[in-house]
A and B are shown apart, each in its own frame.
Chain A
Amino acid sequence: MIHGALFGLSALLSHVVTVRGLPRVMTQLARWKLGAKPNQLYHQDLPPAETASIVKPCPDLLYSGCYYDLAAGPLVFEVPRQDDYFSVAGYASDTTAYFVRDDVDCEGDRLTLTLSHASSRAVDAVGAWIVSPSRTGFLIVRALVSDRTQLPRMRERQRAIRLQALADFTALPPSPALPLRSAAAPVAS
């Protein structure tokens, strides 16, 4: 009798823990594969053919991002505009994609977001105010490379992405000479 009860109870508990824990485990696994340290940006180039750590990498997108931790307060994330499609998406620790902003939402020369945790007080946000449902998660930037001759300039902008604590944030002056969206010159990818 007691054996059956123990079996059932441990089976139920481990079932629930596995289902609930799987998204967090997968997120941490991705973090480990990316070598993403908390609140530090990472940048990826176009994926080479032998990208062992990434499943279904997109050969047409430049990826950047960060694994964020809002324990120390809100963060400001600033992404320079790219000439073609680009987006910033937020993923909670349970993998829910809880927001996305793309180039259509970008009114100036950069997309600026203030990210705070749902439990924190209202903040004096810079740019759009985004509330994360979890304390930790991922921000991922995707930028479409429709013309590979533009890659050097796109990489330059990719590396100009900024992540700062809101308390330390200093605004940059507007970039003076960002070109308008160019018609994509078709190239083989």
Chain B
Amino acid sequence: MMFTLLGSVCLGTVAGVASALVSVKVATRTLTLRHGNWRTFAEAGTRAPGWKLNLQSAAVAVVGLFALRKEEAVYFTADHDQLGRPLDSSYDYELCGRALPARWWSFTVYGPDNRLIANEWDRYSLHHGNITLSPDGSYRVLLARRPQGGDWIPTGKRKFNVFLRVFGPASELIDPLTELSLPVIRRLETT
């Protein structure tokens, strides 16, 4: 009798932990905004009202620990090109857009494990200070495995993702985030 009662408690505990983890996973998806081929977690760092508080905090802890609130910084991730194909270093890509109304912004390329991709050129990112801007404020960054002329970030040998950091965003940029004009990522079919 004692053992079967203990078994019920153990099973209940396992079920409770599992349901909590599923709830957190669902919450991270619910709180993720999609904008073209970019994703952002708009509630990073914020304190949700009422009953949402604990679930949102748990979701933030998992996907955006120590992120800043959107008034200070917003973050976008892309792991697909504009046609929805996963970013793969077997191909070259161009990332085209316009300068963002913000204090500073940068693109960083990460591997599938979300770590920087080791490379002999010591290049991991480009930011507003070293991206070449055309007179109209547009830019073109190449994402490729091998060295390229112009603005280029190496992509390693596997799948990768691009992370856009926007610090000190202008208020019109964050309200709402989905109105923001984000760069497009196109696969170059010539390689």
Q: Which residues of A contact B (CB under 8 A)?
A: 2-4, 6-20, 22-23, 25-27, 30, 47-52, 54-60, 84-85, 87, 89, 91, 94-98, 100, 102, 104, 138, 140, 144, 146-147, 184, 186-189
Are A18 and B17 in contact, with the CB atoms below 8 A?
A: yes
Is B46 positioned at the interface, with any CB of A under 8 Å from its CB?
yes
B36 to chain A, nearest CB (A): 20
Q: Per-position contact with A for B59-89: 1 when CB-CB < 8 Å, else 0?
A: 0111001111101100000000000000000
B132 to chain A, nearest CB (A): 9
A66 to chain B, nearest CB (A): 13
Is B9 positioned at the interface, with any CB of A under 8 Å from its CB?
yes
A144 to chain B, nearest CB (A): 6
B122 to chain A, nearest CB (A): 8
Is B178 positioned at the interface, with any CB of A under 8 Å from its CB?
no
B-side contacts of A9, CB under 8 Å: 12
Interface of chain A: mostly helix, strand, loop or mixed: mixed
Are B54 and A59 in contact, with the CB atoms below 8 A?
A: no
What is the CA–CA distance of A19 and B20 in the complex, to the nearest angstrom? 6
CB nearest to A57 among chain B residues: B116
Is B171 positioned at the interface, with any CB of A under 8 Å from its CB?
no
Query: Inter-chain contact count A-B, CB under 8 Å?
Result: 173
CB nearest to B65 among chain A residues: A26
Are B104 and A95 in contact, with the CB atoms below 8 A?
A: no
Residues A14 and B8 in contact in the complex (CB < 8 Å), given A55-B114, A60-B127, A138-B66: no
Q: Can you list 10 A-B pairs, Cβ within 8 angstroms, ordered by A?
A: A6-B12, A14-B20, A18-B16, A19-B20, A30-B66, A56-B163, A84-B104, A146-B104, A188-B123, A188-B130
Is B40 positioned at the interface, with any CB of A under 8 Å from its CB?
no
Are A96 and B19 in contact, with the CB atoms below 8 A?
A: no
7 A-B pairs with the lowest CB-CB distances in the bound complex, closest first? A14-B16, A97-B45, A10-B12, A18-B20, A49-B118, A11-B16, A26-B61
| 8 Å CB contact of B47 from A22, A60, A96, A189 | A96
B161 to chain A, nearest CB (A): 9
